[in-house]
Amino acid sequence: MSALSAVQIKEANAHLAALHHRVAELEGTVREQAESLIRKDEQYRAAMREIADAKDSEISELRQRLVQSEEAMQRLVATIKEKDRELERLRHHGHLLAQMCRSRPLLDSLVSLMVEAEGVPCLPAEDDRNGLSNVPDYLQSEDDLDDSDVDRTLFGTTV
């Protein structure tokens, strides 16, 4: 082995010093990057927390709106059912009115007969026991004969 010269030792020391200096620079860079990564990680975590909070808040708001919408829907369904009942009641009344209108000619005829009957003077009861002997018989038409069973049924008599 040969001995190293003083120049070689100085160059080796200078090289080691430069190498040591470069390692220190690289360690500083690594430290700065690690600190930067830690700061960015904290920023990203904070941003993630904000996003998660915003998401939770939005979900909560959407749930509340859903509940309100369901309540409004239930009110509307109840209103529709109420209106359907009212419509059915009005249909029934309309049906009754239509029946009344179809029966009006018969009612008009009956009313005119009742008015005419009110105008007939009453005969004294002493002339006849039942009071009908002097009252002339009314002629019945074929229509009257056909309706006579119906009239008896409607008024509850069979006479």
Tell me what pLDDT residue 119 has: 86
Cα separation of 74 and 82, whole Å?
12
Structure token pair of residue 106: 């018969």
pLDDT tens digits for range 12-40: 999 999 999 999 999 999 999 999 999 99
Cα separation of 112 and 30, whole Å?
118
End-to-end, the C-alpha distance of the chain in Å comes to 158
Note the pTM of the prediction, 2 decimals: 0.45
What mean pLDDT comes out for the span 72-81? Answer: 98
Q: 93 to each of 37, 39, 52, how far by Cα in Å? A: 82, 80, 61
